[in-house]
Amino acid sequence: MTITSIDTLNPLLLLAVIVTAGAAGTSAARLVRIPAITGQVVAGALLGYFIIPNIDAASALQPLSTFAMGLIAVAVGGHLSYRRIRTALKRIVGIAVLESAATAIIVSATVFYFTDSEAIALLMGSIAIATAPATTFALIRETHAKGTFVKTLLSVVALDNIFCIMSFSFVLAIVGDVVEFSGRDVLVATAFLHAGQQFVGAVVLGCLTGVFVETAVGRVRSNDFGIVCAAILVSTGASSFIGLNPLLTSLFLGVYLGNRSTRTERQLNTLAVLEEPLYLCFFTLAGTALHVDSLAEAGPLVVAYLVARALGKSIGSITGGALLRVSQRIYTNVAIGLWPQAGVAIGLIVLLESDTKLPEGMASLIGTVVLAAVTVNEILGPFFTRGALHRSRETGRDRPRLVEFLEEEHILMDVDAEDRWGVLKKMCAFYAQVYRCTPNEAKDIEASVLEREREMTTAIGLGAAIPHGRIPEGEGIKGVLGISRSGIDFEALDGEPVHLMMLIVTPHEHEQRHLEVMSSLVAMVSNEAIRERLAAAIDANDAWEIIEGEEARPYNYFLEEQEDDQNGN
């Protein structure tokens, strides 16, 4: 049966059809062991081609798609929390800048070779920078991935889309005004003004919406879920109304919530219950709008664009990672993980086609090529990103572990002071910073740690110490790791200076877990290979790689595995 008109299928029934097709695609994908996203996109494409070929499902359900993209952008923006990426900032920014620049240059040069048009080349080069936050985030959720690679990939994706929107706004202003103005100074000034308006407007609106969330959560007796949903609707709706990019505004809303406070950061988790059904609807809906016939129409230029973009992402990521001495495991997989391209690129094509200043046919050509490339990327792209996640060895790690707190951002390198008391104060200050403690909480933690140290040294020998303190209540055991290259005198029984300091803070109700964590840490640093490698770690990421390595795995196990073993399963 073919449905020929939207009049015969109201939006709610259309949504039901979309959900059913997406669920079927997900089940089929699991049977043949391919990414669920690919199954949803293919199911949507079949639905659009055979069942509803004459219905523009994407337009009929545009509010749902806009909300889904807003939610995804907020989630990705939240991963640009300075607390999380502080130790990785150089790596993230370096890779993002170089791969974005390489992609824009290589794609622009390739397109110019085929079209002999500077305007088309520059516009397509800027669009090529965009990556697919929805695909990336959904695959990370699907594979339960967690680690420094995942953090790097998500942060680079967020920066990519910021760079893309800004460069596209700049180039579009120049290309459009070439027809209208003759002075280069006017062109450049106008382009900078337009791009600046987009960026500043998105930042201001995103932050104002974030203030609304923060105020409402603190004063209104309502669940956080409803407040955050309302915030996303405000950011996307207001952006569209005043001519800003909804994705960029939502991304800055996520950045605000992720950086403002621990409480606002927690609000980002309230929408987790919506993610899976929204992803299913979003990707199936995207599948109905795929332009399979445009692949043949665009011809060799589509292939050239896809190859040039993949080369740009790969060369830029690998070059940036190698120059910054990033772990090869990270930069080689980031190069592959950035290949997918979808929602942001489609949104920019819509803006392009609505610009009346562009020469006739230019927007049509660019739209045809980019949409054809998106068609390929929506179907094949998830395979590359999922492959990158598996190759990074971080899949299946988004589960509770015994020593959950030893992440990259919780590691302080090159700790130094005149004595152990100075070091402990620095460690407590670092703890308060990364866990966003209030001044009173920080003061109490430092007092508890110093009081325990006065009773007896917490040095355990072999160049390690485990200072610890207590707090009345909390979510669980938290801690930080400090590494000193010169060594600190902790008055250890073996007389050796301490190079490794693992500060842990335990709520009173977690006393039993405290003993297990202490035992695990002692066993870990008793391993000579782990201890020596940690003491010689180059940076926080290097130290984290050692803690997450195979040698340390027996000391930092997944909690559900141990519980299953204890239950005889």
Bridge partner list, 471: 507
Rounded-to-integer distance, Cα 95 and Cα 110, Å: 22
Residues 62 and 173 in one domain: yes
Does residue 61 belong to any structural domain of this protein?
yes
Which residue in 144, 194, 390, 468 is the catalytic one?
468
Residues 419 and 356 in one domain: no
Residues 35 and 130 in one domain: yes
| Amino acid letter, residue 494 | D
Does residue 435 belong to any structural domain of this protein?
yes
Q: Kindly report, residue by residue over 380-438, the tens digit of the pLDDT.
A: 888 899 999 999 888 887 777 667 777 888 899 988 888 889 999 999 999 998 888 88
Does residue 510 belong to any structural domain of this protein?
yes
Residue matched to tokens 């059809």: 17
Rounded-to-integer distance, Cα 95 and Cα 335, Å: 9
Residues 351 and 442 in one domain: no
Task: Indicate the residue among 348, 363, 391 that finishes a domain.
Answer: 391
> Count of domains in the chain?
2
Which tokens hold the place of 312?
Answer: 């740009």
Residues 347 and 464 in one domain: no
Residues 416 and 378 in one domain: no
- Helix residue ranges, H only, 179-299: 184-219, 224-242, 246-260, 262-267, 272-288, 293-298
Residues 420 and 337 in one domain: no
Residues 39 and 68 in one domain: yes
Number of H helices, E strands in the chain: 25, 6
Residues 381 and 515 in one domain: no
Whichever domain contains 271, its CATH number is: 1.20.1530.20
Does residue 551 belong to any structural domain of this protein?
yes
User: How many angstroms separate the Cα of 298 from the Cα of each of 114, 295, 304, 353, 369?
Assistant: 12, 5, 10, 17, 6
User: 192: how many CB neighbours lie within 10 A of its CB?
Assistant: 14
Does residue 398 belong to any structural domain of this protein?
no
The whole domain housing 417 covers: 408-566
Does residue 396 belong to any structural domain of this protein?
no
Residues 426 and 512 in one domain: yes
In a structure prediction context, what are the per-residue pLDDT tens digits for the chain, which is 569 residues long?
A: 555 444 556 778 888 888 999 899 889 988 988 888 888 888 888 888 888 777 777 677 778 777 887 887 888 788 788 877 887 888 999 999 999 999 999 999 999 999 888 888 999 999 999 888 878 888 898 898 888 899 899 899 989 988 888 888 788 777 765 545 444 455 566 667 777 788 888 899 999 999 888 887 666 555 778 888 888 999 888 988 888 878 788 889 988 988 887 777 777 778 777 878 887 887 888 778 766 666 666 678 889 999 999 999 999 999 999 998 888 889 899 989 998 887 678 777 766 766 667 776 787 788 788 878 887 887 888 889 999 999 988 888 777 766 777 788 889 998 888 888 999 999 999 999 888 888 899 999 999 999 999 999 999 888 999 999 998 887 788 889 999 988 898 988 888 899 999 999 999 888 888 888 888 888 888 888 888 888 888 888 888 888 877 666 666 665 554 444 444 44
Does residue 486 belong to any structural domain of this protein?
yes
Q: Kindly report, residue by residue over 31-77, the tens digit of the pLDDT.
A: 988 888 888 888 888 888 888 777 777 677 778 777 887 887 888 78
Residues 371 and 304 in one domain: yes
Taking only Cα atoms into account, the Rg of the chain, rounded to an integer number of angstroms, comes to: 26
User: How many angstroms separate the Cα of 500 from the Cα of each of 268, 468, 489, 555?
Assistant: 34, 14, 12, 16
Question: Annotated catalytic, 194?
Answer: no
Residues 521 and 439 in one domain: yes
Does residue 397 belong to any structural domain of this protein?
no
Residue matched to tokens 């407040």: 227
Whichever domain contains 444, its CATH number is: 3.40.930.10
Classify residue 383 as left (phi > 0), alpha (psi -120 to 50) or beta: alpha
